[in-house]
Copies of this chain bind each other. A is one copy, B any other.
Amino acid sequence: MKVAVIGYGTVGSGVVEVLMKNHDTIVCRNSLEELELKTILDIRDFPSDPNADKFTKDFNDILNDSEIGVVVETMGGVHPAYEFTSQLLSKGKSVVTSNKELVAQKGYELLLLAKENNANYMFEASVGGGIPIIRPINNCLSANEIIEIAGILNGTTNYILTRMIESGASLDEALNEAQKKGYAEKDPTADIEGIDAGRKICILADLAFGKHIYPDQVYTCGIRDITLEDVEFVKSFGGVIKLIGSAKKLNDGRICVQVRPSVILDKSQLATTSGVFNAILVRGNALGDAVFYGRGAGKLPTASAVVADVIDCVRNYGRTKMIPWAKNERDFVADNFLLPSRFYVRAYNVNDGSLAELERAIGGIKVLERNNQRSDEFAFVTGEICERDLRQKLGNIESVEIKSLIPVTDY
C-alpha cells in the first residue's frame, strides 16, 4: 500500500519520520505486505529534505494516483482540508488526520462519505496527541453506556496552570515561559480561551454519545481570569485548578458539554497530570472510571497516533471500520447552567452583613483561607447546586463582587 502526506509541518514531517524510522517494526508487527510513502504535498520547497524527490505542489498528483490508498492530512484548518478530504474519500481513498478543527466541524459528513465509498476517515491524533483515546472509546468501551467523558485536553493551558500551582508564577509569566519553550503560540488565543479544548471535547462527545455536536454548542470559558489567589484557596481545599473539557449525559438523555476551569481534588489522576501532558477520563456504566494519560501534543507522539491510523486503514482497506455518528440535533445539548455541582466561589467586598446574608442564602458552605488574604475577600465551596440558582442567590446579595466561580468535579 502506498501513502501520501498533505502538509509537511510539524506533524506531517513527524509522520514521515515515524514511517521511515519504524518501517520494519511496523510492517512486521502488523503483518503488512508493504507500507511505502510515495508523495508529499506542500506549497513550500524542501530541496534538502531526504525525501525531496517525493514532493509535489499539485493535489491532483495524489488524487489521481491509483497506487495511493491512504492519505494523511496534516495541513490543519477547515479549508481547503475539507475539500481535499472530500475528494479523496469520494475516490475511495482512506484519509487520516490530526486536524481537530475539521473533524469537529465536518466529522459527521466526512465519516458518512467514507462509509459510502467503503473507505475510512480516522482521526486518533485529533484528540490527546499520542494518547490512544478515539479507538478505545469506539472499540474497547463499546459494551458500556458512557455516562461522562472529561479531560485535560490542552497542553498549553495545562502547562501554564501547572506553573502557577507549582512555582507561583502569574498567568502572564507562565504564558510567557510557555511561549519561550514553544508550548504556546505567539497568538495563544485558541488555547487560552478554551477553543482548542472545545473542538476536542466535541469529537469525544460525538463518539461517546453518538450525535454530532458543533463547537458553537459548547459552553466555553478559558483560563484568562484564573489568579494565584484562586490557586491558593483551592490548594487549601486539597485541589488544583485545571482546564477541563467535559461532556455529561443527563437523565433525560441530553448532553451537557463545556470547557472551563474546574477544581480537581488532589487524589484524582487528572490532578497529577502536569505540564504539557493530557489525560482523559471516561466513565462507563459497567467500567466505572478509566483514565488515559500521555503526551497531548508534540511531533512524534502525534505522528505515532497518525501512523497507527494509517496502519489500521491499510488493514481495513475497502472496508469501513469507523462507525459514523448521527447528525446534529440542536436540542441534544442541554444548558450547563442547570447541571448540579459543587462550586468554588471567591468574592470581594464582603463584610459581616453580606457574609451573614451569603451564608443564609446558600447554606452548607465550606469557608476557605489563604495567606495574606484581603480583609474583604471571602472564598468558599458550596454543596451541590446548579449554577443558575447559585448565581441568582449571589446576585441578590448587595455589593458583593464575585471574582471567581468554578465547578468542583468528582473525577
Q: Residues of A with Cβ closer than 8 Å to B? A: 14, 18, 21-22, 25-26, 28-31, 124, 130-132, 135-136, 139-145, 210, 267, 269, 271-274, 284-295, 298, 300-301, 303-308, 310-312, 323
Q: Is B300 a contact partner of A294 (Cβ separation < 8 A)?
A: no
Q: Is B269 a contact partner of A22 (Cβ separation < 8 A)?
A: no
In the complex, A298→B298 CA distance in Å?
A: 36
Label chain A's interface by main secondary structure.
Answer: mixed
CB neighbours of A30 from chain B (8 A):
142, 323
CB neighbours of A295 from chain B (8 A):
287-290
CB neighbours of A287 from chain B (8 A):
130, 294-295, 300-301, 304-305
Q: Is B18 a contact partner of A143 (Cβ separation < 8 A)?
A: yes
Q: Can you list 16 A-B contacts with CB-CB less than 8 angstroms, sorted by A residue number? A: A25-B145, A29-B323, A30-B142, A130-B287, A132-B132, A135-B136, A139-B312, A143-B307, A267-B272, A286-B301, A286-B304, A286-B307, A287-B294, A287-B305, A288-B300, A291-B291
Known A-B contacts A142-B26, A142-B311; A304 and B284 likewise in contact (beta carbons under 8 Å): yes
CB neighbours of A267 from chain B (8 A):
272, 274
CB neighbours of A140 from chain B (8 A):
124, 132, 135-136, 305, 308
Chain B minimum-CB-distance residue to A269: B293
Known A-B contacts A136-B132, A323-B30; A141 and B304 likewise in contact (beta carbons under 8 Å): yes
Q: Is B286 a contact partner of A300 (Cβ separation < 8 A)?
A: yes
Q: Is A143 a contact partner of B22 (Cβ separation < 8 A)?
A: yes
| Most chain B CB within a 10 A radius of its CB, from A18, A130, A300, A312 | A130
CB neighbours of A284 from chain B (8 A):
130, 304
CB neighbours of A291 from chain B (8 A):
291-294
In the complex, A132→B139 CA distance in Å?
A: 9
In the complex, A300→B210 CA distance in Å?
A: 23
In the complex, A14→B293 CA distance in Å?
A: 28
CB neighbours of A144 from chain B (8 A):
22, 25, 304
Q: Is A290 a contact partner of B288 (Cβ separation < 8 A)?
A: no
Known A-B contacts A272-B267, A291-B294, A301-B287; A132 and B141 likewise in contact (beta carbons under 8 Å): yes
In the complex, A304→B294 CA distance in Å?
A: 23
